[in-house]
Amino acid sequence: MDIQRTVLWVVFSMSLLILWDNWMRYNGKPSLFFPVTATQQAADKSAPPAKKSDVPQAASVTPAAQVPSNAAAAAAATPAAAPVVAEKVTVTTDLMKVQIDSVGGEIRRLELLKHKDSNDPTKNVVLFDSSPTRTYLGQTGLIGGAYPNHRTPFAVRPGSREMGSSDQLQLVLEAEEGGVKLIKTYTFKRNDYVVGVRHDVQNVGGAPVSPSLYLQLVRDGGKLEGESHFYSTFTGPAVYTDASKFEKLDFEKIEKGKADHANKADDGWIAMIQHYFVSAFVPPEKMKREIFAKKVDNNLYSVGTIMPIGTVAPGATASVDSKLYSGPQETDRLEKIAPGLELVKDYGWLTIIAKPIFWLMVQIHKYLANWGWTIVALTILIKLAFFPLSAASYRSMAKMKTVTPRMTEIRERHKGDAQKMNQAMMELYKTEKINPLGGCLPIVIQIPVFISLYWVLLASVEMRNAPWLGWIHDLAAPDPFYILPVIMAVSMFVQTKLNPTPPDPVQAKVMLFMPIVFSVMFFFFPSGLVLYWVVNNLLSIAQQWVITKNIERANAA
């Protein structure tokens, strides 16, 4: 029993320490474990703007100043295009409203029409944005010469801007520079967060050209508004290749130029991740590319890919079809777009357990059609699966409870002699056939499953804005009336009473206050997570009470 209490004390102490460390990091203070601060955001705000180019440059691409003389002459001989009037074009589909700037064909705003903002339910979630508080952009263009890029004015071809009754619409932009005409075509489809991004590169000059196409996502390093102080989720770039698999890149490491990731591949994608949502450029398969992540400006970072198009002869055209996904991290959608894209829904190192748990949740939801009741049913199934282990743990605790008075007597008798006290304790365990670890090991075995389920519930966008019953209208938001956290506190208190009382008064007080401490934390957790713990606690109380009563009756007989 001493070992079990020690384990519980260590877990409790580490939980408080990690909680405090997360609080310090969230508020920009130095971490107890990590020397790097959040993003050096406070320092960046007061620093002068950095003079860096946001147009990427590949090592294998010839800079504009070093374009061969014949190509430069051809570019100079090309007649100047008519002035282009800058405009911001808004395209509306059934799922999103997208604003594209004619300067560069840059995606400057993308609003998700089916997802409400967590802080203001009257507004929709906005991913791409260009506002005083958020910079999040999608940019494409050509490098390797004075060719059109995301700073070049484009002419917008006329066409429909709202999907209406059709299933597809396109926005076409074109620009000509350096003897190259670039035509960007954005294709939007009904009930789809995937935007087709096609680049047609036409050589309108008199000499061959060899441009490279880049796709990049640019975002500031600021945290999401309304992010919880009590748990953190990843926000930042990610890279996937078949060779190196899924790699998350911290803004802090990019800031210091220490972001380690795959640099070259002929497959994969690049993405910008935040809680519940993701934007990802997916280039064509089997097309060689370079991958980069860099600091663009103060508190501004980019992740992207550069693909050599090859030599384009005069009068010829080269085309590259890519995809941009910008929407919720829904597993079914992500799996159909590109290999590995579902990994942006990050379950950490317990993915091997978490993915089957989520699959089981989906199957249950098909029958119950309510994510709240799905959580309840899943908790019951997991409890049944671990019933034998839990029963062994509770039997051990019940036996411990019956000998607690004798343990207290031994402590009092050998108060000044620790060796004799331990010998007497071991003799008592041997006589009563009690394993001191019997109540602890079954719980330890279940911990990976509980942690996996925690991340499944925390990462699943399906819980967002999903009601349960009565006052719970959003399983991803805290309980508005704190009813579930209060029930959880009461259930934890009851569990404490069912467990053996520690002989040490200090440990007894700690165990008594644990329900209060953890309940305060759960006041700010998503109600779906709290619902899981409440149901689990109630089932555990029922199981433990029955086992304890049976053992007490057996001892009395």
In contact, 218 and 135? CB cutoff 8 Å: yes
Quick one: pLDDT band at residue 37, thresholds 50, 70, 90? very low
Lowest mean pLDDT among 13-17, 487-491, 530-534: 13-17
pTM (2 d.p.) = 0.79
pLDDT tens digits for 250-274?
999 999 988 899 999 999 999 999 9
pLDDT class for 141, splitting at 50, 70, 90?
very high
How far is the C-alpha of 154 from the C-alpha of 173, rounded, in Å? 6
The arithmetic mean of pLDDT across residues 281-286, rounded, is 95
Helix (H/G/I), strand (E/B), else coil: 18: helix
pLDDT tens digits along 358-407 = 999 999 999 999 999 999 999 999 888 888 877 776 667 666 767 777 77
97-118 confidence digits (pLDDT tens): 999 999 999 999 999 999 998 8
Q: What pLDDT is attached to residue 69?
A: 34
Q: Go through the chain and tell me how many residues it has.
A: 557
**Parts of the chain belonging to CATH 2.70.98.90:** 41-54+87-224+231-344
- Residues of the chain above pLDDT 90, percent: 50
- Cα 240 to Cα 250: distance, rounded to the nearest angstrom: 15
| Residue 174 Cα to chain centre, angstroms | 36
Would you say residue 513 has pLDDT above 90?
no
**What is the C-alpha to C-alpha distance for residues 484 and 529, in angstroms, rounded to an integer?**
10
Q: Is the pLDDT of residue 34 over 50?
A: no
For 60-167, list the strands marked E by DSSP.
Answer: 88-92, 96-101, 106-116, 124-126, 129-130, 135-143, 155-156
Percent of the chain with pLDDT over 70: 76
Q: What is the pLDDT of residue 390?
A: 72
CATH architecture of 41-54+87-224+231-344: Distorted Sandwich (2.70)
pLDDT for 144 beyond 80: yes
Mean pLDDT of the chain: 82
Give the C-alpha separation, 129 to 108, whole Å.
5
pLDDT classification of 82: cutoffs 50, 70, 90: low
Nearest Cα neighbor of 328 from 277, 281, 270, 274 is: 277
3-state secondary structure of 229: coil
The neighbour count for residue 191, using CB atoms within 10 Å, is 8
Burial label for 51, CB within 10 Å (0-12, 13-18, 19+), is exposed
Give the pLDDT score at 170: 96
- The residue that leads in pLDDT, 359 or 228, is 359
| 480-508 tens-digit pLDDT | 898 998 898 888 888 777 766 665 666 66
Contact of 197 with 186, CB cutoff 8 Å: yes
Task: State the Cα–Cα distance between residues 352 and 41, nearest whole angstrom.
Answer: 35
